[in-house]
Amino acid sequence: MLQTAPPAEDARARRAGRRDTREAILECAEELLQRRGYGGFAYQHIAVQLGIRNAAIHYHFPSKEDLGVTLVQRYRERFHAWVAALSPDLDAWARLQAYFGTYRAYLGEPRKADDCLLCPGGALASEFCALPEPMRLETRLLMRDVQEWLRGTLEQGRREDVLQFNGDALDKAVEICAALQGGIQIARMSGASRFRQLLDQLALELNPMRAAAAAGSLP
């Protein structure tokens, strides 16, 4: 006799399957956004990559705007989780180096310049004027959160005497964001080594002694 799952278990399995599909859609859309930009992909690209129908994507995200807003909210949540996971024992220099490390993850294969992913903020900012207004709002909030965290870290570093810079901490935070977002785009043309040089230069400006010590410890 055929055995079937009890109705409650069957319903749970369907819900789990829908959650898995939704997560797979978000992961695929995230890579497409950071590789091609928001305007550079459609639901059909996701459907082909995942082997599903467009209708399955519309079930979770009725419009591309819905998908885009969810992606930016997801970036914000991930950033907050990353900040919360930082050890409280880290000084401002180490916290900043950890943040720079998140950008190294976008570089891809060292010998393939075009393998670099853009950072979320840079990908969204590069076509900000073409984004739907709800996505613009979420993008502004994302950049505000990042810049405020950087501002706080820079101020902490100045108090601890482990970071050196002139001027206002928020102005320096904006400068760092601009350098990182622009640098990852240049890496697409010139290769990952250029971006690593940028990170080294930022570190050298903020704390020459520790930057030199870190460079000397590399193989």
The model's pLDDT over 81-120, given as tens digits with 9 standing for 90+, comes to: 999 999 999 999 999 999 999 998 888 655 455 678 999 9
Q: Does residue 51 sit in the same domain as residue 95?
A: no
Q: What CATH number does residue 4 fall under?
A: 1.10.10
Residue 195 scores a pLDDT above 70: yes
Domain containing residue 124: 68-217
Q: Does residue 84 sit in the same domain as residue 162?
A: yes
User: What burial letters (b/e) apply to 109-146, b meaning 16+ CB within 10 Å?
Assistant: eeeebebbbbbbbbbbbbeeeebeeebeebbeebbeeb
Q: Does residue 117 sit in the same domain as residue 212?
A: yes
Q: Does residue 23 sit in the same domain as residue 121?
A: no
Of 24, 44, 62, the one marking the end of a domain is 62
CA–CA dist 184, 163 (Å, integer): 23
Whether the model clears a pTM of 0.95, i.e. scores above it, the answer is no
Q: Does residue 51 sit in the same domain as residue 99?
A: no
Q: How many domains does the chain have?
A: 2
